Amino acid sequence: MKLVHKVMDFEVGRADEQARTFWAVASSPTVDRQGDLIEPTGWDFANFLKNPVIPWAHDYASPPVARALAVKVEKGRMLFKAQFPTAEEYAFADTIYRLYKGGYLRAFSVGFAPLESEVATHAVGGRSLTGTRYLKQELYEISCVTLPANPEALVALGLGSPRFTPNPAGASPTPSPARTPGAPGAVNPKAAQALAQAALGELVAARLRYHLGLLN
């Protein structure tokens, strides 16, 4: 059975730093850029829950960078709670966790086997897109990735249940001192983003060189 990968956008909020966990929306009933739609009520989690590892970029030959503590469908969205190892346990996984926490990574990809599907045409942004509507699908894995496909999937990082409520009108989030210009030990946000993007690019490039056999 063919394994399908679907990459989705995520928006990072707050994380439980002690538990190193956050909740994420893994899919929503929204047409993606390929014209496909995944019905959230059609997910089968049984086999995934037996080994709920979260790889980096669908790399099954390397250790996972996280695991899913829970997965469920709620209000038309498939949610999962990710937990990442500490830097002492796995330095690369810690880097990935901090890139999500800092907002430099925003995507996950679901790998699944279609069980029931149909061809469907959807109106998106004033144009018609013909793709696949997945009615039933078995979840195989969830990967950390860099490229988004579904622009409406969200991550809500928090200490308890997932939260998707925006700030009240007129309210603004309290800035982190580390990111507030002029604060002691402040880091210029643009410089921090550039450094993180460069670091992520090097990580991805190193992975590609490894799989191409260009590293010893």
Domain ranges of the chain: 4-123+132-160
pLDDT band at 170 (very low <50, low <70, confident <90, very high): very low
Is 70 exceeded by the pLDDT of residue 187?
Answer: no
CA dihedral 120, 124, 129, 134 (to 10 degrees): -40
What is the pTM assigned to this prediction? 0.65
Query: Mean pLDDT in the chain?
Result: 74
Q: Which two tokens stand for residue 77?
A: 């969205």
Which positions ≥6 away from 101 have C-beta within 8 Å? 12, 15, 22, 157
79: Cβ contacts below 8 Å, ≥ 6 apart: 23, 24, 25, 26, 70, 71, 72, 73, 162
Looking at residue 176, what is its pLDDT? 42
| Alpha-carbon separation of residue 157 from 4, 20, 30, 80, 148 (angstroms) | 27, 10, 21, 11, 18
pLDDT attached to residue 84:
97
